[in-house]
Structure 1
Amino acid sequence: MDRKGQKTLFRFWTGHNRLKTHLYKTYKISHTDFFSCGETAETVKHVLQDCQNYRMLRQAVWSSPTDLQTKLWDTIEELEKTNSFIHQMGVTI
């Protein structure tokens, strides 16, 4: 896995990332912690599992339902899928 992919996963694992929840709660940089979809807070779980804005992309990357544990802590193949998903979303982590 390249360095960028490693950094993305490390940021997800530690919670120190550029998602609005972290920026809002830790630094008060964002005016809200809600994701652009307006559904709920922008968290790792919401981005990887629940956001309806990325449902089709999620299905394209993971052909069958995949739990969060697998997306973040499984084989290198699964971790590469997670990085691919984030890259295709265009979200800065």
Structure 2
Amino acid sequence: MIELDGEPYLDGHEASTFLGIKLSTLYTYVSRGVLKSYRQGMKKRRLYKQAELEALLRLRTSDDVVESSADTIIEIPYARDWISDI
């Protein structure tokens, strides 16, 4: 995790792990406008705001939440489930 101007950002691998999706699905989300990525400096490294990733997790309906005795686990949508032309 990287903190810029007091806001946490994750790199692609961290973001895909955070969302529980493949890295290629993360890139699909960005290319379809579901999620925004940010370039870090002159490098081609892309970062993702943790707050935006958390907001994406909250988009799921209560029907998609699986509860366990200890915690609530949120299942992440696959792009094909909510973007029609993938």
Larger Rg: 2
Q: TM-score, normalised by structure 1?
A: 0.29
Task: Please identify which structure carries the higher helix content.
Answer: 1
